[in-house]
Amino acid sequence: MQAPTISATAEQASAAPDAIEKTPVASPAAPGAGMRSLVGLTRAGLSAALAEADVPERELRMRVAQIHHWIYHRGAKDFSEMLNVSKHLRARLEQAYTLARPEVVSEQISRDGTRKWLMRMPSTGPHDKGAEIETVYIPDSSRGTLCISSQVGCTLNCSFCHTGTQKLVRNLTSAEIVAQLMVARDQLGDWPGQERPVDNLLPSGERAVSNIVLMGMGEPLYNFENVRDAMEVAADGDGLTISRRRITLSTSGVVPEIRRAGEEIGSMLAISLHAVRNDLRDELVPLNKKYPIHELLDACRNYPGISNARRVTFEYVMLDGINDSDADARELVRLLRGMPAKINLIPFNPWPGTKYKCSDWERIERFSEIIFRAGYASPVRTPRGRDILAACGQLKSETEKLRARARLMQESGIGAEGIYGASSSDDD
Ligand code: SAH
Ligand code: SF4
């Protein structure tokens, strides 16, 4: 996932510091469990929900505006806070709906200020325990970036990505995508009048969460409508107010949806390129067999709104001896010639069982130098939150470990509090 584009030092890139905190988060039994939450709904969704609660047609627009403001601008958690909504309507809403967020199962805070939340979505039926997803927050001095998931797991099986090895896959609903942002703001005290935590580096700006990257679990363009609707909520000027220029959608290259993404989502675009030859990209990003490099780059050149001020970012993971030669760097520059582009070199984040290694620091510097001399800024993405497995491609592994531990501890009669409060140093 994207971390701010700062150049890393050799020590930073190789260091994997211990997590300094791992906070068990209480998960109170949700009042109104089983009832539908309004949190995460678009204006159209809110309107339908209010109509179902018998709000008269002529009042709908005004009521939607009020409730939307309370939920997304003020972060209200209780209908009783909505003082400009009549008591009568508040009571009716309370009977029909909740303002519940997904349950926060655990929060981990890295030494570098990165936070990772494991959230459990409400169950969707008798056989669903509720999807578990991870959302990562990456603070920097001037901005705070939230890395959001669009699917549980991913169908695409890129060979270097841990998420692709997960079996269970489903699309997140638009409300579940928005809910990740709501939970982050809750946890960071990022609503008007609330206190922010003082224990870690947080950005100096007005908002703790100022940017969104769709770089968590999943392929966002395989869940197009839900991602589009969720970003509409995120960008709404009387609500969460994250401008579309501060939202970056990363795709492994779903070519037929790229133009539509520009037109209907209007976010910045990032492409997981990772290789400059089709034979290698077929192996690293198997979707390349369907949409080869030249088709992908054509789609990028025609991305609506592309300009020098709105460049397409190309992500390139540095894999030792695989895609990191001088010739690869020169070919990368040649392929992108004439396109308003940025290149982000990502040190590979290893995970248990992977056959790849991260390129060594001298190689990354040399690669970056070739790109820089060709006129591109060539930031190397500082790995963030490695100690809590929050870095790119590491998501979900911790959840699996927690599950394994939960089983073991259940078998030996120890309660779950012990699990989430445990230090991770033994298995990182
Ligand atoms: N599915 C989308 C978005 C999620 S992946 C996509 O592939 O673009 C976000 C970024 O993390 C992608 O660029 C992906 O290639 C990269 N990534 C995945 N696994 C990684 C790993 N182990 N180390 C470093 N980057 C990784
Ligand atoms: Fe899916 Fe992206 Fe991982 Fe590929 S890199 S498996 S597309 S999440």
**Residue from 315, 342, 351, 398 to probe ligand 1 pocket by mutation (most atoms less than 8 Å from CB):** 315
For residues 2 and 148, the model is more confident at 148
**Cα–ligand 1 centroid distance for 123 (angstroms):** 28
Query: Among candidates 4, 5, 21, 9, which has minimal Cα distance to 421?
Result: 21
- Residue 19 pLDDT > 60, yes or no? no
Residues in the chain: 428
Residue reference for tokens 């509409």:
232
Give, using CA atoms, the residue closest to atom 8 of ligand 2. Answer: 218
Residue reference for tokens 């922010």:
196
Ligand 1 atom closest to the CA of 271, numbered from 1? 8
Q: How confident is the model at residue 413 (pLDDT cuts 50, 70, 90)?
A: very low
Query: Residue 397 has what pLDDT?
Result: 39
Query: Among candidates 296, 196, 233, which has minimal Cα distance to 73?
Result: 233
Q: Which amino acid is at 310?
A: R
Convert 203-221 into a string of H (helix), E (strand) and C (coil): CCCCCCCCEEEECCCCCHH
Q: Which residues contact 186 (CB under 8 A, 6 or more apart)?
A: 75, 77, 101
Q: Summarize the confidence of residues 177-187 as an average pLDDT.
A: 96
What is the CB < 6 Å shell around ligand 2?
154, 156-158, 161, 163-164, 218-219, 252, 272
Ligand 2 atom closest to the CA of 164, numbered from 1? 6
Query: Residue 392 has what pLDDT?
Result: 60
Cα–chain center distance at 275: 23
Q: pLDDT tens, 277-286?
A: 999 999 999 9
Strands 268-272 and 247-251: parallel
CA distance 123 to 131: 7
Q: How confident is the model at residue 194 (pLDDT cuts 50, 70, 90)?
A: confident
24 touches 106 (CB < 8 A):
yes
Q: How confident is the model at residue 390 (pLDDT cuts 50, 70, 90)?
A: low
Q: How confident is the model at residue 205 (pLDDT cuts 50, 70, 90)?
A: confident
CA distance 41 to 47: 9
Ligand 2 atom closest to the CA of 217, numbered from 1? 8
Which of 163-167, 394-398, 423-427 has the weakest average pLDDT? 423-427
Considering every ligand atom, which ligand is closest to the CA of 323? Answer: 1
For residues 380 and 266, the model is more confident at 266
Q: Which amino acid is at 301?
A: R
Query: Residue 416 has what pLDDT?
Result: 25
CA dihedral for 292, 294, 295, 298, sign (positive or negative):
positive
Q: Half-sphere exposure of 52 toward its Cβ, with a 13 Å CA cutoff?
A: 12
Residue reference for tokens 């601008």:
73
The mean pLDDT of the chain is 83
**Cα–ligand 2 centroid distance for 222 (angstroms):** 11
Q: How confident is the model at residue 126 (pLDDT cuts 50, 70, 90)?
A: confident
Query: Residue 273 has what pLDDT?
Result: 98
Q: Where do runs of H (alpha helix) occur along 374-396? A: none
Helix %, strand %, coil % of the chain (to 5): 35, 15, 45
For residues 42 and 17, the model is more confident at 42
Local structure of 341: helix, strand or coil: strand
- Residue 378 pLDDT > 90, yes or no? no
Query: Residue 290 has what pLDDT?
Result: 98
Query: Residue 394 has what pLDDT?
Result: 61
Catalytic site positions? 134, 392
Ligand 1 atom closest to the CA of 156, numbered from 1? 1
- Residue 116 pLDDT > 70, yes or no? yes
- Residue 313 pLDDT > 60, yes or no? yes
CB-ligand 1 contact for 349 (6 Å cutoff): yes
Give, using CA atoms, the residue closest to atom 24 of ligand 1. Answer: 348
Helical packing angle, 174-187 and 224-235, nearest 10°: 40
Q: pLDDT tens, 216-258?
A: 999 999 999 999 999 999 999 999 999 999 999 999 999 999 9
Cα–chain center distance at 78: 26
Spell out the domains of the chain, with CATH numbers in brackets.
10-28+101-388 (3.20.20.70), 36-98 (1.10.150.530)
Q: Which residues contact 201 (CB under 8 A, 6 or more apart)?
A: 112, 113, 139, 141
422 burial type by CB count under 10 A (0-12 exposed, 13-18 middle, 19+ buried): middle
CA distance 193 to 238: 17
For residues 346 and 386, the model is more confident at 346
Residue reference for tokens 């073991």:
408
Local structure of 118: helix, strand or coil: strand
Query: Residue 13 has what pLDDT?
Result: 33
User: CA-CA distances (angstroms) from residue 130 to 95, 105, 198, 221?
Assistant: 23, 12, 32, 23
Which of 126-135, 264-273, 387-396 has the weakest average pLDDT? 387-396
Give, using CA atoms, the residue closest to atom 4 of ligand 2. Answer: 158
Query: Among candidates 317, 361, 357, 311, which has minimal Cα distance to 336?
Result: 311
CB-ligand 1 contact for 346 (6 Å cutoff): yes
Q: How confident is the model at residue 169 (pLDDT cuts 50, 70, 90)?
A: confident
Query: Residue 50 has what pLDDT?
Result: 96
Considering every ligand atom, which ligand is closest to the CA of 287? Answer: 2
Per the DSSP assignment, residues forming a β-bridge with 411 are none
